[in-house]
Structure 1
Amino acid sequence: MNIEIRGNLLEGIFLKRVNRFIAHILVDGQMEVVHVANTGRMRELLLEGAKVIVRKVDNPNRKTNYDLVMVYKNEILVLIDSRMPNILLEKALREERIEYFGKYDYIKREVNYRKSRFDIGLSNRMENVLIECKCVTLVKENSLATFPDAPTERGRKHIYELIEAKDEGYRAAVFFIIQREDAKNFTPNRDMDPDFADAVKLAYEAGVEIYAYVCKVSPREIRLKGKIPIVIN
């Protein structure tokens, strides 16, 4: 199951990150102001001199003419767009390619529940499902993927609301989509955000399903490759 990466893609050299949404990147010998579609810190990826892939965007209404799409890390290509996991997972669910998830009459992105909006909602005659989907780019030593790479109060809130939904009869799940292929295991990043790790552990014990999938990334596509083991502590 794959998603094509479309557009005018060009290689560049990362110079610096100006703020959460803006970076300076050298493209064809010219410094360009580039949009970063991921608010995570990504400090292990966004290093001065790193080879990257950007997409040229011809839109007169935009302040930037490029999007940062991918970063090379030790020859591994990492897709950094935090919107992609929702797209990948929705397509996989529609094509019935996710283990333990069958055919659904209703599949929708951005579903409201109480005061939150969850990434995907599913329903059929048997069950109603709420899914939260997280973009993972950080892989530490020993091929261990982890999330988050910055404290996330919003992420913690969503986990607790999934526990409430589970108590109310919903099926609830969290998918950690690792947008690179070099991870062999996943764990919540307790060092970075112990409260988030505690929330995930509590959710797991309450019956919220926790999954982690790695992706195969090439300059022109991203493919959901397979599920990997999760360590929750």
Structure 2
Amino acid sequence: MKINIEGNKIEGTFHKRINRFIAEIYINDKIEIAHVANTGRMKELLIPGAKVILRKVNESHRKTQYDLLMAYKDTTLVSIDSRLPNQLLQQAFMHKSIPYFKQYNDIRREVNFGKSKLDFYISNERESVLIEAKCVTLVKEDDLASFPDAPTDRGRKHILELIEGKKQGFRSAVFFIVQREDANRFTPNKEMDEAFCEAVLLAQKAGVEFYAYNCAVTTHSIALKEEIKVFFN
């Protein structure tokens, strides 16, 4: 199953990032402003001169006329929209295409738990599951995907909430969705955020489950491709 990337797509050349949500892009030698739907740093992707894919948006309330959707890393197309992992997982849960989670029929998005809002609550008559999804764009040497690419107090908080969920009797899981297809394994990024990685190790010992998938990405669609192995620091 795949998600279609709708709209009028245009190629551009990355110029610079103004802030977390705004970037300047060259389109036909003219600088345009684009919305960036990802708060990660993406420093290895969003470099001056990088080829990018944008979507033209014609909405009067918008401050920007373009969405920055994808960037090329050499010949690899990388989807940067951090909203897509939830859509991909919801589709996968609904179609029962993830073997470990085929037994659940009730699927809910953005549920409050503790002091956080987690991405999914899924359940059947016997068991309930709390799930958090993370968007991964960073792939290091030797096809090793890693998260986060910037310190994330919010991400650490979510991991700790899942530990609490386990204590309360929930099944708990984290999905790292690598939005490119050149990754064949995943590890938490200890060099970037040691506190996040410590929380991951605590969660693993507490019984929280960790999964990672890479994606098949084109300018028109994205789909979960295959599960890749998670290595813990």
Structure 2 length-normalised TM: 0.99
**Residue 166 of structure 2: aligned partner:** 166
Q: 2:106 corresponds to which residue?
A: 106
Q: What amino acid maps onto 1:86 in structure 2?
A: N
Structure 1: unaligned runs, 5 residues or longer:
none
Q: How does 1:62-77 map to 2 (within 5 A)?
A: 62-77=62-77
Tell me which residue corresponds to 1:229: 229
Matches of 1:158 and 1:101 in 2, distance apart?
20
CA distance in 2: counterparts of 1:97 and 1:126, whole angstroms: 20
Equivalent in the alignment of 2:206: 206
Task: Provide the C-alpha distance between the structure 2 equivalents of 1:112 and 1:20, rounded to a whole number of angstroms.
Answer: 26
Corresponding residue for 2:181? Answer: 181
In structure 2, distance between residues paired with 1:229 and 1:114: 30
- 1:20-169 equivalence runs, <5 A: 20-169=20-169
CA contact (8 A) 2:174 2:211 kept: yes
8 Å CA contact 2:4–2:221 kept in 1: the answer is yes
Paired residue secondary structure (1:34):
strand
Residues of 1 paired with 2:173 and 2:63: CA distance? 37
Aligned identity (percent) is 60
Partner AA of 1:36 in structure 2: V
In structure 2, what is the Cα distance between the partners aligned to 1:99 and 1:44? 33
- CA deviation after TM superposition for structure 1 residue 82, in Å: 0.3
Aligned structure 1 segments of 4 or more residues deviating by more than 3 angstroms: none
* Corresponding letter in the other structure for 1:15: H
Q: With the length of structure 1 as denominator, give the TM-score of the two structures.
A: 0.99
**3-state SS of the aligned residue for 1:213?**
strand
Alignment-derived partner of residue 217 in structure 1: 217
Give the length in aligned residue pairs.
233
Is 1:6 equivalent to 2:3 in the alignment? no
Deviation at 1:115, TM superposition (A): 1.3
Q: What is the distance in 2 between the residues matched to 1:194 and 1:114?
A: 23
SS in structure 1 opposite 2:142?
A: helix
CA RMSD of aligned residues (A): 0.7
1:28: Cα distance to partner?
A: 2.4
Letter in 2 for 1:136: V
Q: Match of 1:182, as an amino acid?
A: D
